[in-house]
Every structure is written in structure tokens, then in C-alpha cells.
Structure 1
Amino acid sequence: MKIVLSSNPYRDKGLRAALEAKRVLEHAGAKTVMCLPFQPKKGDRLDLPRQLPLSQLDKELATADLLICFGGDGTILHAARDAAFHEVPILGVNMGSVGFMAELERGELPLLAPLAHGMYTIEERMMLDVNVLRGDRLISKDVALNDAVISKGSMARVAEMEVLADRVKVTAITGDGVIIASPTGSTAYSMSAGGPIVEPTSKSIIVTPVCAHQLAARAMVLAPERVVTVQLPRGNRKYLYLSVDGGKAVRLSGGDRVEIGCSQRVTQLVRLADRSFYQIINQKLGGLSQ
């Protein structure tokens, strides 16, 4: 059993949590490899242990059985693309605030020991393929676990766009933008913008307007087989921006379209505890009844 430990050094100071997990897992008989989830920013002085060998995440995932991420939900989202490509299950250890996708908290690391003997279950999460087209030319391609957000950015302008499902117009949105979310992403930005909470193991595509300037604008839940297209008006001189899972924004111009559909890839989340989705909502978000 080869387990890759990937720790966000900005959250896990000195990689202390990752090193503790390493001791627990190796004592239980697993082989572990330490990696950073991303390249640190230039000039940052990180508190990293001396003499600790660190490998490359993309290299180690090719032969890994499991990936453990230490950080917040952003760390898990960052790893989800590569893990899905290599079909490696992910377990998240929350080092942030909410940590909605994390299975364990910082103080629960002894619970990792059963992983060495394959004692865990897998929960599959739907992902979204996100393609940007300019005419017939594909200019950007990505995959999302949470969401794709088309917005006006920081400029104080109103964004205009049409949303289509299988090339049939669903709605026109005037406002700050639109969120196209997976069920996993329904409890992220989409929820904050007034979208529905959807069980994360279900399959659907959620379309949530952001600060729409229309009384009739409502969030919608579409079937997973739909291809959702967000179309920018031709001749529009305003730039909009696409961000996938909170990543680097892609600038969109008039006539561009963003096509979003259910991906063949899935994120596999490792589950150790038998906790209901609604128990997690109550714990992390303060509950639905408050």
C-alpha cells in the first residue's frame, strides 16, 4: 500500500500533521511518500523540515494507491484533477476552517491506521468538463469538482449572458455572473448565492445566477446528461472571466461560449467514518434548521 502525503505548507506549519500521519501509517505497515501540492510562491520562506525528502506529486500519483491531502477544501480541489486522471482516491485532513470535503480533522490522525490494510470505503463524486470555445476553436479545457464561475470580475459593470441546455435557451442573465456547479459544489459558492443544497453523491448540474438584476432569476437543477452552454453576446465589448474550482481566471470576450457537461472522470473520496451528509451539514454549516 503506497500512500502519498500532500500537505499545504501554508496551512500545515512545518508539515507537522503530515509527519504525524507518516508515523501512524508506516507503523501500520504502509509505504509513504511526502509531496507538496503546488510550487511555493517565489520569495516565500516556508517552515519545512530539513533533510526531509520531498517528491513530485504528479510523478508519485502514477503508482499511488491513496492520496492524503492536508489543508482546506482548496487543497483537495487543487489535487482532484490529477488524482482523478490517475484514478487515485483522496482523503482530506482539514487544516482550514470549514473543510467540507475533508474526512478527518487535525486531531483525528490516529484514525488513519486502517488505511494501511485497505479498510475504507470510496465515495464517487461527479465532475464537470469545462470547455471554452471561440468560434470553432477550443481555447481552454479544464475539469471541475466544484464549479465553473463566469463573472464580471472586479469591474463595476453588469454582465450579460445566455444559458442554454442542449442548445435550447434556458434563461438570460443580467447581473454579476453565473455559477455552474456539481452536486459537490452545491454547498460552496452556489449555496452562498442562493442555490439549492444537493446531495453530493447524486448526479445533476446546478445553474445559479449571481446577484441577478431580474426578479424572475432562479437557480435551476438540470439532468446530468445536459450540456450547459453559457453564451456571451456577440459584439459585447465587456470582458467576463471564467474560474474553474477557484483557479486562475480565463478572460472571455464577446461571442465566446463556455460548454459544461458531466465528465467521464470522477473524484474518489475516501470514507472512514459512517457519517451522514446531513450530519456534516449540521457540523460544518450550522445546520439546515437554524
Structure 2
Amino acid sequence: MLVALGGDGTMLRVARAVASSRVPILGVNLGTLGFLTTCGFADLPETLAALKAGECWVESRHLIQARRSSRPRQRPELALNDFVISRGPTPRLIELELSVDGETLTRYRGDGLIISSPTGSTAYSLAAGGAVVSPQAEVFALTPICPHTLSNRSVIVRLGAVIEVRLLTHGVATFFSADGQVGTEIEVNERITVQRSRHAACLVRRPGASFFQTLRQKLGWSGSAVEAGDR
């Protein structure tokens, strides 16, 4: 087991670094949100006691991978949350062509596109207006960033799909990033192919922990929780 001290950024880096080993990760939140972590620092003794008693469990989260046409021999980039293609500091629109399983879906004109895993649906994709997706749902969320239209919305496709994005815009610096941490500039007409990775992150969970409980506690979800006695 690996113990990660930090916040969600630390969890994302660790998940990518140990992706091939499937080692369980116990995250101790020292940051602000800690959506992916197991517990806060104050709860660590209780969590370790539960772990020793065999009461904790391991949740598997899918990673996704991306290949760039300009770097065919490079290993695919991995992400736990998302891949983002976005314009640089110049305040100009970029145009992206999006295909799913070889079929052209649409062209986006805006600030960029987020390709999110189920885990990443509560990160940048959520802030951009995307849907909240349960981590057990085997889907991608494709969420445009500030699209210049009244009709574009987040699109949900199966996690087994092959997603391809091509940059069409000349003269505007455009960047590709993994989990908001690993970023490089991309070229016009470059194609980025995203699909499910065979790797997964194994996150240690405390007894009774659930995704929806975390959603209410960490993100201040305004929905009303229904207690068993109120039914």
C-alpha cells in the first residue's frame, strides 16, 4: 500500500505514477478539497485502525490514455481525471473536429474541449457545465469549454469508444494537458486519440464511504439527502 500526503493534485500524480502496479493508494488530505483522498489528517488514526481491522476496501477507478499523431513512438499519456485541449493566453477561439469511433460528431468553436473519465466528471468538466457521472459508469464525458453557440452541451459516450480530436485553427497557440498537470503545445491538424487505458487507480476507502456522500460533503451539493426514517 502507498500512502499519499497532499490533496487531489497529489492523488492524480501518484495515480499516474503507479498505474501499472495496481498498488492501493491511501490518500491523506492536506489540501483544500480532497475529493479523491481517503481521509483527512485528523481522521488518519481511525482510518489506520479500520485498515488494520480489515474494514477498509479498495475502489478501482479507470484511467484513460491519449496518443498524439505528432509523436507516434511515444508512450501514451495517462490521466485519471481528464485530457484537455485548450487555447493558450491569446483570447481567440479555436476550432476542433471531434470524432467518435471513426464517425465525425461535430466541430467545436470555443476555448477548448474536456475529455473526462467518470472520475474526472466532478473536476474541470463539472465547472464547464458537464454532467456528474458515477465512477462506476463506464463512459466518457465530452464537454466543450465556452463554446460559441447556444446548442452545444456535454456529450456522454461509452468508455470503450475511440475518441479523436483534430485541431483546425492556424495561428493560435493551443495546448494539450493531462489532469491539468502535464501540458504541451500541439500543432494544427494534429490528431489526439483518446481511449480507455488498461490501467486503473486503486483507491483505499473507509467503511461506509460512498461517492454520493463525498459529493454532498465536499462539493456542497444542494440536493436534500433522504434519511431512511423519512421514507
For residues 159-179 of structure 1, what are the alpha-carbon distances to aligned partners after superposition, in whole Å with 9 as ceiling and x for unaligned?
A: 111111012111110000000
Partner of 2:49 in structure 1?
A: 113
Q: Is the 8 A contact 2:94 2:110 kept in 1?
A: yes
Task: Tell me the distance in 1 between the aligned counterparts of 2:207 and 2:182.
Answer: 34
Alignment of 1:33-52 (within 5 A): none
Task: Tell me the distance in 1 between the aligned counterparts of 2:206 and 2:76.
Answer: 33
- Is the counterpart of residue 173 in structure 1 residue 108 in structure 2? yes
- Is the counterpart of residue 266 in structure 1 residue 200 in structure 2? yes
Task: Tell me the distance in 1 between the aligned counterparts of 2:75 and 2:96.
Answer: 19
Change (3 A) 1:140 1:252: farther
Q: Percent identity over the alignment?
A: 38
Alignment of 1:26-175 (within 5 A): 66-111=1-46, 112-116=48-52, 118-134=54-70, 137-138=72-73, 141-175=76-110
Measure how far apart 1:115 and its partner are.
2.9
- Is the counterpart of residue 241 in structure 1 residue 162 in structure 2? no
TM-score, with normalisation over the residues of structure 1? 0.73
Task: Tell me the distance in 2 between the aligned counterparts of 1:203 and 1:139.
Answer: 26
Amino acid at match of 2:61: R
Task: Tell me the distance in 1 between the aligned counterparts of 2:136 and 2:201.
Answer: 11
Amino acid at match of 2:51: L
For residues 63-102 of structure 1, what are the alpha-carbon distances to aligned partners after superposition, in whole Å with 9 as ceiling and x for unaligned?
A: xxx0111111000000001222111011111111111011
Runs of 4+ aligned structure 1 residues displaced above 2 Å come to 113-120, 136-141, 235-239
Change (3 A) 1:193 1:288: same
Partner of 1:198 in structure 2?
A: 133
Q: Is the 8 A contact 1:164 1:230 kept in 2?
A: yes
Task: Tell me the distance in 1 between the aligned counterparts of 2:73 and 2:222.
Answer: 41
Amino acid at match of 1:160: E
Q: Is the 8 A contact 1:206 1:222 kept in 2?
A: yes
Q: Which is richer in strand?
A: 2
TM-score, with normalisation over the residues of structure 2? 0.91
CA RMSD for the aligned pairs?
1.7
How many residues end up aligned between the 2 structures? 223
Amino acid at match of 2:215: I
Q: Please, which runs of 5 or more residues in structure 1 have no aligned partner? A: 1-65
Alignment of 1:208-247 (within 5 A): 208-233=143-168, 236-247=170-181
Q: Please, which runs of 5 or more residues in structure 2 have no aligned partner? A: 225-231
Q: Is the 8 A contact 1:83 1:89 kept in 2?
A: no
- Is the counterpart of residue 279 in structure 1 residue 213 in structure 2? yes
For residues 204-229 of structure 1, what are the alpha-carbon distances to aligned partners after superposition, in whole Å with 9 as ceiling and x for unaligned?
A: 11100000001111101100110111
For residues 96-128 of structure 1, what are the alpha-carbon distances to aligned partners after superposition, in whole Å with 9 as ceiling and x for unaligned?
A: 111101110111011213434654211111110
